[in-house]
Amino acid sequence: MDVSQYLNVFMDECQEHLQSLNQSLLALEQDPDNMEILNQIFRAAHTLKGASATMGFNKMSNVTHAMEDVLSLLRQNELKVNAELINTLFEALDLLEVLAQGIAEGREEDIEIAGVLQNLQKFTTQEVTAKQDQSAERRRNLQLRYLPAEIERIKEAANEGLNLNHLHVYLQEECLLKGARAFMILRELEAHGEIVRTIPTAKELEDERFDTDFIVGILSKKPLEFLVRFLEKMLDVARVEGEVVGPDDLLVERRGGVAKATTDTSPPKATSTKALSNVSPTVRVDIRKLDDLMNLVGELVITRSRLEQLSSEQGDHALAETVEQLTRLTMDLRDQVLKTRMVPVDNVFSRFPRLVRDLARETGKEVQLQISGAETELDRTVIDEIVDPLVHIIRNSIDHGIEPPEVRTAAGKSLPGVVELKAYQAGNNVVIEVIDDGAGVNLEKVRARALERGIVTPEDLEDMDDEEVMNLIFLPGFSTSDQVTDISGRGVGMDVVKTQISNLGGVVEMTSEAGKGTKFTIRLPLTLAIIQTLIVQLGDEVFAIPSTLIDQTISVAKKDIKILRNREVTLYRGELIPLVRLQDYLGVDRAKNANLEELDVVVISTGERRIGFVVDTLVRQQDVVIKSLGSYLGNIPGIAGATILGDGKIALILDLRSVA
Amino acid sequence: MKDRQGKERQEETTQIIVFKLGEEEFGVDILQVREIEKLDQGITRVPKAPPFVEGVINLRGEIIPIVDLRVRFGLTVPELGLDSRVIIVEVGEALVGMLVDAVVEVLRIPVSAIEPPPPITKGVDSYYLAGVAKLEDRLIVLLNLERTLSPEEEKELREAELE
């Protein structure tokens, strides 16, 4: 059958199922015994299998089939959830995403699936033996469980020839200062290997919160016998039991650490159940159709303004009334169309639990992601563009912000570290905050780095307050991490984030307190299509300045203008700000403000700086529809686009931030 | 035989719109022309635009950049007059307006009359040209719109490569 006409529908569904799988798998990782989640995963995999088979995408149906086999064993309780299984399922999911991409690009055939299939099948064929071993395995590892990141480390270590030894140390009953003794034992032991985990935790041991025995998991090249004998010789040690544990026999820590990732906020749980219950009838619409609709409404708004002008000239009462009615309808229509373009930020946020999980594993840190306000809505075009900057900020928070567990413990901070992702609407803006409770920005480091990179001179630096220093990280070529890591850094960091957000008409700010954490605040316009502007006149021309950029409009008498280093400045809220004649910036002739006694000044705020732009007259506030100047003129600095005013004239929209 | 000749004759012609820049006649393929507009609404200047971009106009709600071909080709620029027109052409997916001194006529010319352009024709670099149509008493310079109306860098790049 000809399936091409169904391809779009298939791709859409595919994306939905993949996302739901992603969320449910995360949830399952935290709650391995939850049958409801398991069923959700099974249903999604099953549906995908059916759909891909129908469409003739054999590789996808093979992979989903193998997944389904594993999942049904889980459902029948013949297989237990463990780290390896979860990882294999994630691996399969990643492959499915690659396959979906491949299908969209018509090259599904080229994608290699054998490796993942094999890994999946390992579980189904091993299942019988695994079942027999289960009870023994459980007994063996009863006490010590590991975080996924630790398991990774243990596997890695196995390749380096390091064995994981579980050492059960019993202290003598009469031992005094058990805490100190345990601490000593651990310290001595560290000379022979890497201690991965202890039960109770090292802190509890030190605080003497244990009976007389404790267990140590240690990676060591030394044979088990040596370690046992080494410990037995130590003071106050009654006896030691030990065993070597293979990396495949480990149990996953289910509570605490990474596994705790979302128990408080439970976004994956909430979203996954929501995803499945979210079945109110909907229509899929191509975003371009919505763009066209938005354009038409824009035209209508313009025509309406023109009609309004004409009607006011006519002075016809009945006409005026009708126009007024039309105005109301047009505005309602505009609002409705804008609403159709709005999607919840959940579309973006829902990717982050997985990102945080993977990053935590990579860095060996314990991180909990808390999400709130995921229902906040943003224009579709903004949503698409906000992903990259957010990913970058979150990566930064985990890589540079959150400390490794031992550092946090030493600093008396709670585990796991918390990254908070918040969205809410504030007026015509949507605010997204990324807050971590990590180490915060080290201002001394920032200063040193800025000097080293030649971003500022020592004199500049002396004039800067802490806030200004902090904002240096948004400058090109800046990166505070000592090491360049895979995760963030390479020196292309925050300046790119700032540019991307500026391109969306938004601003990003950062505040940080050493030792307490860092907070990024992103402010975005609700929509990109219509913005509120201040129309100003300059010579014969009119320009529109986006209201979001404007701090205030003021009137400045000629006598209040001073000259400082050949530049005009004036006092504004107790601070000297530079004045720029807009005609000088834009190269416009016939501007009249040069000879005026009283100047209209638009004060623009560009994050930390303020600049006053002198215009001829302030005309009015107006909502305008942004139109692109096209590829020809699209990249002129300072000009964000154009709009058509009520009288059919074109006004250029100025992005005055680039002046600074 | 006759049939074939007749068919050939049809294939051999092409329609062009002939316009004037100063006193010289230029032509563009009619299939690329969307419409021809008078200049009664005025052009909105765009600060910091490339010099050959005169500004933008509002064409029924669409914002169209206007290119002054005379500046583009480095010809002398007479004042805009009553006969001045904007020829709106489609280049790639974009609409661009070309400012010309007058639109003369729509002409059907035999393809055989079109010759490759000499290096410089009427002061215009052959890079911008698709050919030269030699008619009985006229010489019409045919423009390569893709090149004429693409941003300046491409020509510079090409020149840099040739060097």
Does any domain span residue B55? yes
Task: Show the domain range for B143.
Answer: 13-162
Residue A261: its pLDDT value, please?
35
Query: Measuring CA to CA, how many Å separate B48 from each of A110, A339, B52?
Result: 49, 36, 11
Q: How would DSSP label each residue in A310-332?
A: HHHHHT-HHHHHHHHHHHHHHHH
**Preceding omega of B78 cis (within 30 degrees of 0):** no
Predicted confidence at residue B10, as pLDDT, reads: 55
> What is the C-alpha separation between A398 and A391, in angstroms, rounded?
11
**A527 residue type, one letter:** T
Low-confidence ranges of chain B (pLDDT < 70): 1-11, 77-78, 151-163
Would B3 be classed as within a structural domain?
no
Choose from B56, B64, B90, B95 for mutation: most chain A CBs within 10 A: B56
Contact A104, A152 (CB under 8 A): no
B33 to A629, B37, B85, B98, B163: CA distances (angstroms) = 20, 11, 13, 10, 35
Distance CA A384, CA A370 (A): 22
A642 and B56: CB-CB below 8 Å?
Answer: yes
What span, in angstroms and rounded, lies between the C-alpha atoms of A421 and A37?
24
Cβ distance A629 to B56 less than 8 Å, yes or no, reads yes
Q: Select the residue of B61, B65, B151 nearest A629 (Cβ to Cβ).
A: B65
Domain membership flag for residue B72:
yes
Count of alpha carbons within 13 angstroms of residue A416, beta-carbon side: 26
pLDDT score of A445: 81
Among A16, A34, A39, A46, the active-site one is A46
Chosen from A297, A633, A639 to mutate, greatest number of chain B CBs within 10 A: A633
Full DSSP string of A551-593: EEEEEEEGGG-EEETTEEEEEETTEEEEEEEHHHHHT-SS--G
**Among residues A13, A469, A526, which one has the least CA distance to residue A275?**
A13
Fold classification of A287-340 is: Helix Hairpins (1.10.287)
Q: Interface pTM (ipTM) of the complex?
A: 0.80
Average pLDDT, 10 consecutive residues per value, chain A (660 residues): 66 82 85 83 83 81 85 80 84 87 79 83 65 43 67 81 84 79 83 82 76 84 85 83 79 46 36 42 78 80 79 86 88 83 86 86 87 87 84 86 87 86 83 89 81 79 79 72 44 72 81 86 77 87 88 88 87 88 82 83 83 90 78 77 81 79
With b meaning 16 or more CB within 10 Å and e meaning fewer, what string describes A105-137?
eeebeeeebeebbebbeebeeebeebeeeeeeb
Q: Which residues pair with B21 in a beta bridge?
A: B24
How does DSSP assign A347-412, residue by residue?
A: HHHTTHHHHHHHHHHHHT--EEEEEE-TT-EEEHHHHHHHHHHHHHHHHHIIIIISPPHHHHHHTT
Interchain CB distance below 8 Å, B63 and A649:
no
Nearest CB neighbour to B65, from listed A541, A633, A648:
A633
Closest-approach residue (CA) in chain A for B94: A630
What residues of A are in contact with residue B61 (Cβ under 8 Å)? Answer: 295, 298-299, 302, 644
Across the interface, of B47, B64, B96, the residue whose CB is closest to A586 is B47
**Residue whose C-alpha is closest to residue A566's, from A580, A553, A585, A582:** A580
The tens digit of pLDDT for each residue in B111-127 reads 888 888 888 777 778 88
- The answer to whether the CB atoms of A650 and B48 lie below 8 A apart is no
**To the nearest whole angstrom, how far is the Cα of B49 from the nearest Cα of chain A?**
7
Written out in words, the top-level CATH class of the domain with range A530-659 is: mainly beta
Residue B7 resides in a domain: no
Residue A508 DSSP label:
E
- Domain membership of residue B8 (yes or no) is no
Give me the residue spans of the domains in chain A: 4-136, 145-249, 287-340, 346-525, 530-659
- What phi and psi values does residue A103 have, to the nearest 5 degrees? -65, -45
Number of separate domains in chain B: 1
Nearest CA in chain B to A583: B47
In total, the C-beta contacts within 8 angstroms joining chain A to chain B are 64
Contact of A646 with A305, CB cutoff 8 Å:
yes
Structure-block tokens of residue B60: 């029924």
Q: What is the pLDDT of residue A20?
A: 83
Beta carbons of B63 and A642 less than 8 Å apart? yes
Q: How far apart, in Å, do the first and last CA atoms of chain A sit?
A: 61
Q: How far is A348 from chain B (nearest CA, A)?
A: 31
* Chain B residues touching A637 at Cβ < 8 A: 48
Determine which of A301, A632, A633, A658 to mutate to test the interface with B (most B C-beta atoms within 10 Å): A632
The one catalytic residue in A29, A62, A68, A433 is A68
Calculate the CA A98 to chain-centre distance.
21
Cross-chain residue pair A627–B94, CB shorter than 8 Å? no
What is the reported pLDDT for A259?
Answer: 33
Enter the CATH code of domain A346-525. Answer: 3.30.565.10
Query: Is the previous residue joined to A200 through a cis bond, with omega within 30 degrees of 0?
Result: yes
- Residue B9: CB atoms within 10 A of its CB come to 10
CATH of domain A4-136: 1.20.120.160
A166 is catalytic: no
| CATH 3.30.70.2860 corresponds to the domain A145-249 | no
Q: What residues have CB less than 8 Å from A418, skipping those under 6 apart?
A: A367, A368, A369, A370, A436, A437
- B44/A631 Cβ within 8 A: no
Rounded to whole angstroms, the Cα distance separating A391 from A388 reads: 5
Considering the candidates A396, A400, A541, A593, report the single residue annotated as catalytic. Answer: A396
Interhelix angle for A267-277 vs A35-55, to 10°? Answer: 50
Q: Which of residues 51-90 of B touch A (CB under 8 A)?
A: 53, 56-58, 61-65
Residue A486: the pLDDT is 44
Which residue among B41, B49, B61 places its CB closest to the CB of A633? B49
A46 included as an active-site residue: yes
β-pairing, A517-525 vs A429-436, is antiparallel
Please give the C-alpha separations between residue A313 and each of A310, B45, B74, in angstroms, as whole numbers.
Answer: 5, 29, 46
Task: Assign residue B158 the CATH number of its domain.
Answer: 2.40.50.180
- Cα-Cα-Cα-Cα dihedral of A17, A21, A27, A32, to 10°? 130
